[in-house]
Amino acid sequence: MIQNQSLAARFQELTDSERMFRELYFAKKEPDQLRRYLASLPQERQKPVRDWLQAEKGVILSELTENLAEFDFSDNVIVTRHARYTPAFVHKHTFFEIVCVLEGNCVNRIGDTCLSMSDGDLCMISPGVYHALQETEGSHIFNILIKHYSLMETLSNFLLQKNALAGFFIQSLYMKNTKHYLSFHTKGDREIQHLLEALILEEVSAEERSRDEQHSALKEAYLNALLNLLARSHTEAAECEGISVANSRLIFEIQKYLTSNLQTATLQSLAEHFNYSPSYLSRLIQQSAGTNFSKILRRIKINKACSLLSNTDLNVNEIGEQTGYRCQRQFNRAFQDVIHMTPSEYRKQHRLLLL
């Protein structure tokens, strides 16, 4: 149950979208009723509703990115409310998601796993994992969304820790055979609930007033505090696939060095930093991450480039140089291989969200 009365009062009434989803929710209970409902819709609404029904069956698979207009990803961390009665459409996304059940119940289908969630449950979902959320009537569910390419900046100190939660984030970013989810049961933990509600309230309050320069910093501080409390008190009871903390720690230390030396880093310089031979370090990276040094370095360079494209006015040539690409053509090709659009296209899409 939501403890903060100011927060609870904001979500008593259904929004226009929720009323529309509610009509569909009850119409789906009987085939004849659904046919009549679809026939009664204006022509322009029929296709979106039919698409939702197809997506709910998994016939249409959606991919959500940081560049979609419905997500204001001008901050590294955003909080959205899961609209009540939303169809359980199958989708994946390029960002991290934390599903938070403040009140009620839902079934979170993640890949082949059906995860039952109730009051106080939180579930971290990796980028690129297909999932769908089926809630029960009257639930209050929120999603914390975290930019994948700025994760190291947002959670820099937390990711240095040796625990399963930090390991989950590192493996999701840089290692193959990514763990799909990590779920926590925190019902009765008042500190966790207080932090969650403070984070949500900070987000919704900003929608009603002009954002100040503390808004983004506060959300990141609340998130870091929340993750630290989860790591301290709830990791032993967490539901997850196996996570290798030792391997994740090594990959994080490698990532930290490469980030600080993007323009000059090589396998040789990295090996010297860790006092390994290049051949041994190469094998160690392959065993730990399931990928090679070059691919990890490229991923880190492109993550940094995304951040610079989104948050600075540097031109594309300068960003290529700052991320270690002396040839503009090489930078463009590497960026397209990872992000599937040119740096200019990425900047244009993201800047539209900031205007």
- For position 106, what pLDDT does the model report? 93
- 93 with 184, same domain: the answer is yes
Query: Exposed, middle or buried, 74 (CB in 10 Å: 0-12/13-18/19+)?
Result: middle
Mean pLDDT of the chain: 85
Q: In sequence order, which residues have a C-beta less than 8 Å from that of residue 76 and are 6 or more positions away?
A: 146, 147, 150, 153, 154, 216, 220
- 182 with 211, same domain: the answer is yes
Q: What are phi and psi of 241, to 5 degrees?
A: -85, 160
Q: Out of 212, 240, 268, pick the residue that ends a domain.
A: 240
Quick check: is 215 in a domain? yes
Residue 276 sits in a domain whose CATH number is: 1.10.10.60
- 319 with 215, same domain: the answer is no
- Residue among 70, 6, 56, 8 at smallest CA distance from 28: 56
- 99 with 164, same domain: the answer is yes
- 321 with 210, same domain: the answer is no
Residue 335: pLDDT above 90?
A: yes
Residue 109 sits in a domain whose CATH number is: 2.60.120.280
Question: What are the pLDDT digits (tens) for 208-217?
Answer: 777 777 899 9
353: pLDDT confidence band, cut at 50, 70 and 90? very low
- 77 with 204, same domain: the answer is yes
- For position 145, what pLDDT does the model report? 95
Across residues 204-225, what is the average pLDDT? Answer: 86
Domain range spanning residue 311?
A: 245-354
Across residues 41-48, what is the average pLDDT? Answer: 84
Question: What are the pLDDT digits (tens) for 25-37?
Answer: 888 888 888 888 8
Residue 354: pLDDT above 50?
A: no
321: pLDDT confidence band, cut at 50, 70 and 90? very high
Query: How many domains, the chain?
Result: 2
Lowest-pLDDT range of 86-95, 165-174, 207-216, 292-301: 207-216
48: pLDDT confidence band, cut at 50, 70 and 90? confident
Q: Out of 194, 220, 240, pick the residue that ends a domain.
A: 240
- For position 66, what pLDDT does the model report? 65
- 225 with 305, same domain: the answer is no
183: pLDDT confidence band, cut at 50, 70 and 90? very high
Greater pLDDT, 288 or 116 = 116
Of how many residues is the chain composed? 355
- For position 355, what pLDDT does the model report? 39
Quick check: is 35 in a domain? no
Quick check: is 29 in a domain? no
- 66 with 214, same domain: the answer is yes
Tokens linked to 143: 């999603």
- 98 with 227, same domain: the answer is yes
- 67 with 203, same domain: the answer is yes
